[in-house]
Structure 1
Amino acid sequence: MTFSGFLRALLAVAAVAAYQVLAHHAVATPDSHGLGLAMALLPPVLLALGAAARSPRRAVWLTLWIAGAGALWGARTPLAQHFEWGLYLEHVSFNLGMALVFGRTLAAGQTPLVSHFAAMIRGVAPAALKPAIARYTRRVTLAWTVFFVAIAAVSTLMFAFASIVDWSTFANYLALPLVAAMFVAEHAVRRFAVPGEKQSGMMDAIRAYRATSQASS
């Protein structure tokens, strides 16, 4: 990884950490409705702005974005009273979205996502993967799908039945470490499930993806 790439990754991690700290602070601190609403709206508003700016029909979508932002500003007072719902919906939709990213590749005729990464790392077509690797990476894809669905389910149950501070602690401080733990556990299992094979990590998959994208562009 280049220094600029490392710096971008570091800034991204810092931004995510700052967001989670501020979101939890808003939930745990009375009368922090304004901060809570800002944390709830900032990610979707920025994502929508980026999508509108990249659209071929930029003028139309930016106009709609401005209108939507104006509507949110006008409704800021009632929205701020229930900002926790926005944070909850963001958390659940992100995890269900990740489950969909992995899960849809398990459909008939599709290449499981982890199999695709394994093929890119090895510089071969997915069909050329060894049968043992193909079976293992399909199971890992399924495991990630179940993992993200489980995170969304726990988040929903805690939001419904636990205190809002306990829910926020799980969503903001525990969910991402659980993702890291999942990576570590999968890496450990891989050594026994497919012994003798090249051990690679997420950074290898990212580098292979970038190399493939640059070669095809």
Structure 2
Amino acid sequence: MKQAPLRYGRAALVAVAFVAYLLLAHFTTASGEHGTLGALLAVVPYMGAALLVAARARHRLPALGLWAAAATLLWLRWPVVEARFEWVYLIQHVATFGLLAIGFGRSLGNGEPMITRFARLVHGELAPALVRYTRGATLAWTLFFVAMTLSSLGLFFFGPLPLWSLLVNILTPVLVGVMFTGEFLARLVLLPPGLRTGLVESVRACVNASRRATRPLA
């Protein structure tokens, strides 16, 4: 019982830090000033995450070598990064949603829809109603990812920079939350209680299945 307040307190601190980061990222990008701070906000969190991934990789030394090469290139080209740090956000945003759009979209035409595949890991054999729903949900998420990608590119190249920054740094997590909420409400309306496994639970099942599959035998 004593662990619950501590856990909630940590979650609240993480949430506050995340919101503060998004607001700072938006302020530095939309203002067109504070190049050093903006560049640090754009680069450091992702380089830190990449370092953790490299340190835990199966082939650790090559992975750390690639990270060191990327860090060296950033250091050598830092004046360019400071002057154009918004491109870092653009690449991250478009790459993330573009790859998701491609992955979900391809699964609709080749093989099994992505969310159907996730649901099968949870339920095994799927009822026809769940097959229809998961295919529709995969299509909905594909369209969302495509819309986010095109909106980011369109606003960056043809719209005002503050509006693009608002989309990338502030509205993106809000819109993703709206999609999850809409998908949850759709499940409540369209599926019986026994079939209402959400995308988050399905992805968690997929990750767990992948870990079991790659775990070395004793």
Deviations 1:41-81 (A, max 9, x none): 22442343234223333223323322321221121112211
Partner residue, 1:189: 186
Q: Deviations over 1:64-101 (max 9, x none)?
A: 32232122112111221111111111111111122234
4+ residue runs over 4 A deviation: 2-15, 209-217
**Bigger mean CA deviation after superposition, 178-187 or 97-106:** 97-106
Q: Please name the residue that 2:154 is paired with.
A: 157
Number of the residue aligned with 1:112:
113
**Residue 102 of structure 2 aligns with which residue?**
100
Q: Any conservation in 1 of the 2:104–2:141 contact (CA below 8 Å)?
A: yes
Distance change >3 Å, CA 191–CA 31, structure 1 → 2 = closer
Runs of at least 5 residues in structure 2 that lack an aligned partner in the other structure: none
CA root-mean-square deviation: 2.9
Aligned with residue 22 of structure 1, among 20, 24, 38 = 24
Paired residue secondary structure (1:55) = coil
Tell me if the contact between 1:40 and 1:90 (Cα under 8 Å) persists in the aligned partners.
no
Deviation for aligned residue 1:194: 3.2
Q: Which runs of 5 or more residues in structure 1 are unaligned?
A: none
Is 2:69 aligned against 1:67? Answer: yes
Residue pair 1:106, 1:142 contacting (<8 A) in 2 also: yes
Q: Does 1:205 align with 2:202?
A: yes
Q: d(CA) in 2 for partners of 1:5 and 1:114?
A: 31
Alpha-carbon separation, structure 1, partners of 2:211 and 2:47: 30
Q: How many residues align?
A: 211
Identity %: 36
Residues 39 and 87 in structure 1, CA contact (< 8 A), matched pair in contact too: no
When the two structures are superposed, what TM-score results if normalisation uses the length of structure 2? 0.80
Distance in 2, matches of 1:209 and 1:6, equals: 27
**CA 1:102–1:47 in 2, change beyond 3 Å: closer, same or farther?**
farther
Structure 1 pair 55–213 and aligned structure 2 pair: CA distance change class (3 A): closer
Higher alpha-carbon deviation: 197-206 or 100-109: 197-206
**Matched letter for residue 87 of structure 1:** Y
Distance 1:199 1:11, change over 3 A: farther
Moved more, 29-38 or 131-140: 29-38
Structure 1: distance between partners of 2:100 and 2:23: 22
Query: Could you say if the C-alpha distance between residues 103 and 41 of structure 1 is closer, same or farther in structure 2, counting changes exceeding 3 Å?
Result: same
Q: Say if 1:33 and 1:83, in contact at 8 Å, map to a contact too.
A: yes
The 1:73/1:207 distance shift into structure 2, 3 A limit, reads closer
